[in-house]
Amino acid sequence: MDKKLRIDLTRVPKHVAIIMDGNGRWAKSKGMNRVFGHRNALTAVRQSIEAAAEIGTEAITLYAFSTENWNRPSTEVKALMTLLVNSLNSELKTFQENQVKVNAIGNIKSLPKKAQQTLASVIEQTKNNNRIVLTLALSYGAREEIVNAIKNISKKVVNKELDLEKIDENTINNHLYTFNLPNVDLMIRTSGEQRISNFLLWQMAYAELYFTDVLWPDFRQEHFYDAVIDYQNRERRFGKTSEQLTK
């Protein structure tokens, strides 16, 4: 039976976040360097976006490059930035055809100028697409995001633009990079690692976490559907009891 047919389309996760892990190990298993793994991961990206769009998921966020990734060897970082530019250019036509709206979060100004320009161009050209929002987390760290939010909120309090007593969860949400996205319902991490790795810490407060041993370059639509099926088999209580949910 087609795994997609097992999915209840009335209960799909609105926002799926993915930690794309395992490129280096995949490449090493083939006797190649890490960059080879990154270059062969585009199919996994494409199929994940397609699978999410087909079942009606509103948003998918990919952890493409963390703030900690800047500490990797300079040759790998340079290759990743070049791959980012090339991939955005090569996939633009597909984004347009499939109504994918591209978004980005993180310290975008820390990216090389060429990457910033290409990213800005693709975001502008896809801004009116409305099937699914693809967010690329680039030079992203959740702790840094929260620190920046606190700083911006504090400035508004000092400048008397915001009443301290009126600060609530919505205030914080509105000062995060993801202010225009729903909270994460499902987080997928590939390669068998079971960590969140400083990714969307606030937004994943009630997310269901799904870990798979599949290495990212091998990840396909069927694996995405496996995660969604597992998600739908869980009871999401948000702090309530099972009995409360049935009333």
213 a catalytic residue: no
Q: Which of 2, 8, 21, 152 is catalytic?
A: 21
54 is in an annotated binding site: no
15 is in an annotated binding site: no
8 is in an annotated binding site: no
The two structure tokens encoding residue 66: 């963390």
CA atoms within 13 A on the CB side of 65: 24
The two structure tokens encoding residue 77: 């970082």
34 is in an annotated binding site: yes
* Angle between helix 113-125 and helix 74-97 axes, rounded to 10 deg: 10
223 is in an annotated binding site: no
- Backbone angle region of 123, left / alpha / beta, with phi > 0 → left and psi within -120 to 50 → alpha: alpha
189 is in an annotated binding site: yes
139 is in an annotated binding site: no
Tell me the pairing of strands 15-19 and 186-189: parallel
The two structure tokens encoding residue 42: 């585009």
106 is in an annotated binding site: no
165 close to 171: Cβ distance less than 8 angstroms: no
67 is in an annotated binding site: yes
66 is in an annotated binding site: yes
70 is in an annotated binding site: yes
21 a catalytic residue: yes
25 is in an annotated binding site: yes
Q: Which of 2, 33, 40, 69 is catalytic?
A: 69
76 is in an annotated binding site: no
46 is in an annotated binding site: no
Residues at the binding site for Mg(2+) are 21, 208
Annotated binding site: 21-26, 34, 38, 66-68, 70, 72, 189, 195-197, 208
Q: Which residues are annotated as a binding site for substrate?
A: 22-26, 34, 38, 66-68, 70, 72, 189, 195-197
Residues designated as active site: 21, 69
